[in-house]
Chains A and B, each alone.
Chain A
Amino acid sequence: MISEIGRNIVRFLVLLLLQALIVKNIHLGRYFIFFPYILFIMLLPFNTNKPLVLLISFVFGLCVDLFYDTQGMHASACVFMALMRGFVLKLLSPREGYEENHKPTMSYMGAAWFISYALILIFAHHLVLFYLEAFSFREFFRTFLRVLCSSVATFGFVYMLQFLFYRSNSERLT
């Protein structure tokens, strides 16, 4: 049994390297771009201190910036997403609150919960990221299309990752 902190550190490194070394090399045109690394922020435990989430997201975003040569862009999007995470968790919380041993994964919280949680956060992240990248509203609609397409792409990736790595959880649960 690895502690929760150790598990998150491993996830930090694995997702960072996955993004920088593999996913960065996937080219599917200008509209479909994958950023599955944000799964790390999504999977931080429910009871993580909210300011801590902001700080962790900032550091994580900076690490991604290191590999993408985009100073602060990913960090900014990640921090924004971390802020949104607080709201979304409140919005989607069950009536009796989150249980102590639950994790924000599909196997614990169910497909419907996870899909809305992931889609909102991914959309928030991509919205900030792509508009910062464009840095103008001149191509407003094209950028928006990129946000939508990439959100779907990233969501697909994240969904697959969930299936790959968290099936054992659901088996353990039942």
Chain B
Amino acid sequence: MRALLNFAIKNYYYLLFFVLQAACVLLMVKNRSLQSTHIINSANAMSAKTYEMVANTKEYLSLRDENQRLSDENTRLKNIMKSSAYEFINLKDFVRNDTLYKQKYTYIAAKIINNSTNLRSNYLTLNVGRAQGIAHDMSIINTEGIVGIVKDVSENYCSALSVLHKDVKINCKLKRDGSYGPLNWEKDDDYSSATLTDIPIHAKFKVGDTVVTSALSSIFPEGIMVGTVSHFERKSGDAFFTVKINLATNFRKVNHVYVVKNFFKAEQDSLEVNSQKHDKDDK
């Protein structure tokens, strides 16, 4: 026994080596069986924290690509959504084509490269143009709500009227009871508010109600978020409510937007112009 102990003390260096190797092998063998919990793995606090830190930093570096990808993905999803389709039912003989829904709106992803909010007439510039299929009078929305209307188009850019423009009038409705009126940006409105006029006095609504775009507008798709009612009043002698709205879109921060193309707009517009012309002829 004493000899063994002496041997151990004399060779403690090699003994230590074998003990350490045995520990390693033990760990490795434990790792092999799937049932056992791993003592040392990259999910533990130290290495996981380090990896997380690196991943967070890397995330910042790829933020631009990531945004672009998400934006593209959203565009694709919006394009296949039911609300961007026009229900197509043949009423004459009830024969259903396999094209039950016909595409009515298409969404084009774009980025705002110039924007102002503090002028009386604010304009936006977008990084898409004729080459990307943009044309006059298309609407611009983002994930929060309405943004503007395309005005002039060049080959690769377009200029648009912001909703914060004194001449922009967008037909909106109160989601609660459906009464509608034009949305204006009046001179006492700031970048986060707008005014909805011509709401009939029998309309039932209250502060906080949602306002969305109405079907009357051939520019905006129906039901796009506009904002919420902040307060309303009836000026003396007026037959209408004037409703102040908190815009849902944060115009100071708009960046990624969608330009909405309405495939039926030309048809609808020409029809309306025609019938109005006939009206005048009749008179």
Task: For B27, list chain A residues within 8 Å (CB).
Answer: 65, 71-72, 75
Which residues 30-47 in B have Cβ within 8 Å of A in the complex? 30-31, 38-42, 44, 46-47
CB-contact partner of A51 in B12, B26, B39, B40, under 8 A: B12
Which residues 177-194 in B have Cβ within 8 Å of A in the complex? none
Number of A-B contacts (CB under 8 A): 72
Interface size of A by Cβ–Cβ distance < 8 Å? 26
B1-39 interface code vs A (CB 8 A; 1 in, 0 out) = 000000000001100110011011111101100000011
Q: Is the contact region of chain B dominated by helix, strand, or loop, or is it mixed?
A: helix
Interface size of B by Cβ–Cβ distance < 8 Å? 25
Q: Is the CB of A69 within 8 A of B28?
A: no
Task: For B24, list chain A residues within 8 Å (CB).
Answer: 58, 61, 72-73, 75-76, 79
Task: For B95, list chain A residues within 8 Å (CB).
Answer: none
* Known contacts A66-B46, A132-B28; A76 and B13 CB within 8 A of each other: no
Which residues 69-88 in A have Cβ within 8 Å of B in the complex? 69-73, 75-76, 79-80, 83, 86
| CB of A50 within 8 Å of the partner chain | yes
Separation of A71 and B30 alpha carbons in the complex (Å):
8
Task: For A72, list chain B residues within 8 Å (CB).
Answer: 23-28, 31, 40
| CB of B54 within 8 Å of the partner chain | yes
| CB of B50 within 8 Å of the partner chain | yes
Q: Is the CB of A21 within 8 A of B54?
A: yes
| CB of A14 within 8 Å of the partner chain | no
* Known contacts A79-B17, A132-B28; A71 and B39 CB within 8 A of each other: yes
Least CB separation from B39: chain A residue: A71
- Nearest CB of chain A from residue B232's CB, rounded to whole Å: 58
Q: Is the CB of A20 within 8 A of B47?
A: yes
Separation of A70 and B40 alpha carbons in the complex (Å):
8
Separation of A83 and B47 alpha carbons in the complex (Å):
27
Task: For B54, list chain A residues within 8 Å (CB).
Answer: 21
Task: For B28, list chain A residues within 8 Å (CB).
Answer: 70-73, 76, 132
- Nearest CB of chain B from residue A13's CB, rounded to whole Å: 11
CB-contact partner of A80 in B13, B21, B39, under 8 A: B21
| CB of A92 within 8 Å of the partner chain | no
CB-contact partner of A54 in B16, B41, B51, under 8 A: B16
| CB of A137 within 8 Å of the partner chain | no
Separation of A17 and B51 alpha carbons in the complex (Å):
10
Separation of A61 and B21 alpha carbons in the complex (Å):
11
| CB of A166 within 8 Å of the partner chain | no
Task: For A76, list chain B residues within 8 Å (CB).
Answer: 21, 24-25, 28
Q: Is the CB of B21 within 8 A of A79?
A: yes
- Nearest CB of chain B from residue A37's CB, rounded to whole Å: 14
Chain A residues within CB distance 8 Å of chain B: 17, 20-21, 50-51, 54-55, 58, 61-62, 65-73, 75-76, 79-80, 83, 86, 132
Chain B residues within CB distance 8 Å of chain A: 12-13, 16-17, 20-21, 23-28, 30-31, 38-42, 44, 46-47, 50-51, 54
The 8 closest A-B pairs by CB, nearest first: A72-B27, A76-B24, A72-B24, A71-B31, A71-B27, A66-B47, A72-B28, A79-B20
